[in-house]
Structure 1
């Protein structure tokens, strides 16, 4: 049932956190933004509310599968480790067991998430050039309202949607294009999910009432939110590099690989660039992972109650 519970939790998390994820990606990939509110105002001014939901359909469709695989891999890996080390899958795991299982969970999900991350980042960073080009200088000889004179002056967005984006990337850049930035994604998710599950387990243990093995709903909310914040604190540097590598397919390519992207970004913008979006990631992670873990634990407890 861990796969089902993880799937439901993942969909709930995406629904809560996607607008802030869009802002985070744009801050990380577009140097013109000076901060969170600058990006929010600019996005709303140019694209209205829809701008915050660019590329949402694909993550929603895949969130259940990815989250299911993540939580299912974690629980099954942990059970097998406990069976191997202690002779029972239900034995209390050590912190090293939880860390290793969390790391495995992060590595497995990369193979599913890399193409969807590419599509998401490309759509989130795609600007609507046709809107900007409708602005004509007021010094023109006529007072005719500004209109778009010809299709070439108002180009359509390169990607019309998630599936079109994936097909275009595959056609223009090949299979490697769909897995662009996967090296940074591996480094991001491996370490962050190890931190994520370990911190959640430790906090649940600390927040459980005396005589109980599990915390109440409030404890799950706090543990899930804090685990999400700690996970993203570890993940943010590689998340910045991952986003830049994946957005690099639009226009002239700047980066030759992970190390070149990291060195170039730090050289041009300073070490602080690796922590772009950190505050936003943490602000988004707390409510998102509160919802994820509450939904996950609720489904597990419901199914356990039905089966007993």
Structure 2
């Protein structure tokens, strides 16, 4: 088992959340409400009404769980990839098959949903509670939000939108790891077994943008399901949310927040992969 990848993924994921959280807040608000006509209007209104702290609402919950979820993503990806590589009877020096990279990334994305979903719904609820009809915040903080959802909606309420989360993270991480490895392979110098740091930074940033380009439609549906009922609009399920959103707002609604996702994805995933490579290169010789 590649334990170094679990540890490196944990550190890299936490670092990425700290870098990209403010734009994540903007993205979620744009996806779940229609008050703001664009990114800059949302940023200005948040600054004016809530100050800088408004961009960090709900951050403690994903920051506390991202170490586990990122560890599962990178660890599952690397171990599934190793298993598929061995099943093809290839030596360690042989390049990985592109299909194996895609399947391994898909497995890593799905593996994190069990841990990710409760933290994600808390994050989204806290980020959006300024958009609710009542002026008084419903949730006092991450723990209160988590317990309130479990009490009012049951334990399954913590997994509201998890189907969309699976459909987002499976294809998204499959694209993510495939793009990263493809760029590293094409730009890696022939005399080095590891990609240089400029290649790591470029590949990490581009792979993040490609992953979100694939995952944004399901990200919109996931966010809307997670605030269903609380935001004043209630969806009966995944397909009702999808059909109602497209019918009432057009197909372009599925790409709401894509610009913010891509802007955020480059520096965040550049940081994630830089930290991941740094830690895994340090640990792997000893592991």
TM-score by length of 2: 0.95
Match of 2:116 in 1: 113
Residue 190 of structure 2 is matched in structure 1 by 210
Cα-to-partner distance string for 1:229-270 (whole Å, 9 max, x where unaligned):
000000000000000000114154421111111111111111
Number of the residue aligned with 2:31: 28
Listed one character per residue, the Cα deviations across residues 106-156 of structure 1 (whole Å, up to 9, x for unaligned) are 1111111111111000000011889xxxxxxxxxxxxxxxxxxxxxxx964
What SS does the corresponding residue of 1:127 show, helix, strand or coil? helix
Q: Does the CA contact (< 8 Å) of 1:55 and 1:119 recur in 2?
A: yes
Pairing 1:1-308 to 2, within 5 Å after superposition? 1-86=4-89, 88=91, 91-127=94-130, 156-305=136-285, 307=286
CA drift of 1:210 comes to: 2.6
Measure the CA separation in 2 of the matches of 1:108 and 1:44: 36
Please tell me whether Structure 1 or Structure 2 has the larger radius of gyration of its CA atoms.
1
- Say if 1:205 and 1:213, in contact at 8 Å, map to a contact too: no
Q: Post-superposition shift, 1:89? A: 5.8
**Aligned pairs, how many?**
284
Q: Distance in 2 between matches of 1:265 and 1:155?
A: 26
Structure 2's unaligned 5+ residue stretches are none
| Contact persistence 1:66–1:112 (CA under 8 A) | yes
Between 210-219 and 172-181, report the one with greater CA deviation.
210-219
TM-score by length of 1: 0.89
